[in-house]
Amino acid sequence: MGADKMATNDNRVILIQDPKIFYINVNDSPEFLVGVSGNLRVLNIIKYNNQIMNCQLTDDPYFNIINILIPYIQETLKNHNSFMEYEDEQANSDSHFLIGHKGKIFIVSSNYCITETYENFGVIGCGEEIAIGALEVLTRTETYHTNIIDVTLKIVSKHIFGVSNTFDCLTLEP
């Protein structure tokens, strides 16, 4: 998984030191690789409260995300007053998440709708339309995953104002 190092606010660009990708541990073992797009406060809260304890994962990654990870994220945001609830009772995190777990990729929208990608890649954030096209082409020609991520981020940063040309990459073995 890869992420650029840029934050934007209207017409202001900030290169950030803190990676937008990180691990969430379950019982002290890295189990979820998480990327965040959107509200940096959500990134800060989840990244530095990244321990799920006393929990038993199943072999089903979809089940684990729906029943363990998402409730954990919602509760953590609620505990830090960053969980938005609306009159229609639909909760919103004001961020999108890209989740890697047990060899699968999931996209979690700001209202916590979970989608498992058909391909073994997914994108979120600024420039996602270019990134998905680049990944589609590169996965047909490249075999080394870190190289695919690096090349994709370089392509997106060349064409999208809100994406920097410096990146972080992490992997989570299936």
Between 24 and 153, residue with greater pLDDT: 24
In a domain, 156, yes or no: no
In a domain, 153, yes or no: no
Backbone angles phi, psi at 2, to 5 degrees: -130, 155
If phi > 0 it is left, if psi is from -120 to 50 it is alpha, else beta; for residue 54 that is left
* Average pLDDT for the chain: 85
In a domain, 21, yes or no: yes
In a domain, 58, yes or no: yes
In a domain, 170, yes or no: no
If phi > 0 it is left, if psi is from -120 to 50 it is alpha, else beta; for residue 172 that is beta
In a domain, 158, yes or no: no
In a domain, 42, yes or no: yes
In a domain, 40, yes or no: yes
pLDDT digits (tens, 9 = 90+) for 14-50: 888 989 999 999 999 999 999 999 888 888 999 998 8
**Total tally of structural domains belonging to the chain:** 1
Between 119 and 68, residue with greater pLDDT: 68
Between 68 and 91, residue with greater pLDDT: 68
**pTM for the structure as a whole:** 0.84
What is the domain extent for residue 92? Answer: 2-124
User: In 3D, which of 103, 90, 114, 123 has the Cα closest to residue 21?
Assistant: 123
Poorest-pLDDT segment among 1-5, 23-27, 79-83, 167-171: 79-83
pLDDT digits (tens, 9 = 90+) for 94-137: 889 999 999 999 999 988 899 998 887 888 988 888 888 888 88
Is pLDDT above 70 for 85?
no
